[in-house]
Amino acid sequence: MKIAFVGLGQMGRPMAQNLTRVEGDYIVCDRNPEALSEFNKPGVVATTSLDDVAIADIVFLSLPNGDIVKRVLLSASGLLEKLAPGTLVVDTSTISYATTIEIAEALSTKGIHFVDAPVSGMYARAVDGTLTVMCGGSEAVFEHIEPLLRRFGDKILLMGVVGSGQLTKLVNQLLFDINAAALAEVLPMAVKLGLEPGLVTEVVNSGTGRSYASEFFLPRVLKSNFNEGYPMAEAYKDLVSGAEISARYGLPMPVLAAATTTYQQALLKGLGALDKGAMIQVFEQLFDVRFRSALDAA
């Protein structure tokens, strides 16, 4: 069985490394030649060309957004016209539900199987091989690829039919996004009224107000460290997906809409290259305060 992995970015590179740690027949592909340097080992062909991927039996994708996934799969030079019937495509990217359904339908016309399998856990867990993988597809195909998924994930779940993985990932991401936006709004208020940021962080992260967002971001915010999480400009696609679902299905989500406004303000202030913890700067500027440790308060 020949296995290909396309997309060696921040998440894809460690996932591909864990996938290829077991002896086998692999192809790794990225348009950036520098990304291929770590895959110089027996049994692995490293390439910048999708043409070389066409001979694979299973193709994993880890790409930045839905537009790129569509280009890699459905464009005139994409894999749809190169892969043989019966090939399985497993997309671990985070893209919209609607785009996932569109891709699955297009691939099925050529007899190509598809599973959406977005991952959760951020870079450190990708390195450790402990990601959560949420899958959408047939049970038979899922059982076929589950042993491969377990090379980079320790919680592998079949959520339902194609598209269910992306829907599940979106639910998780939106809750994370809302938590991050809430921290950005409430904590500068605490400083404005005289509370000390370090002590507030200690209480929040040991009390009922804690969340993964607070535990990850607040120690970093105290040190003005906004570069260890996923960039906001790229994460914003999840909020767009949430808004699309809200509009398409007539589902009011007012808390999500409010959180989206905070993200939009942060992006308009030029903070898109920073992680979600940087949203706090929106309200710091508005309230004329800084949520920092004493050593970094100046």
- Kindly state the tokens that stand for 119: 């991952």
Q: Do β-strands 131-136 and 119-120 pair in parallel, antiparallel, or remain unpaired?
A: antiparallel
- Beta bridge pairs of residue 133: 119, 156
Residue 56 has, within 13 A of its CA and on its CB side, a CA count of 28
* Residue 91 contacts residue 103 (beta carbons within 8 Å): yes
Q: Is the dihedral of CA 99, 146, 58, 114 positive or negative?
A: negative
The position carrying tokens 């105290």 is: 222
Q: d(Cα 89, Cα 100) in Å, to the nearest integer?
A: 12
Query: Mind telling me the catalytic residues?
Result: 169
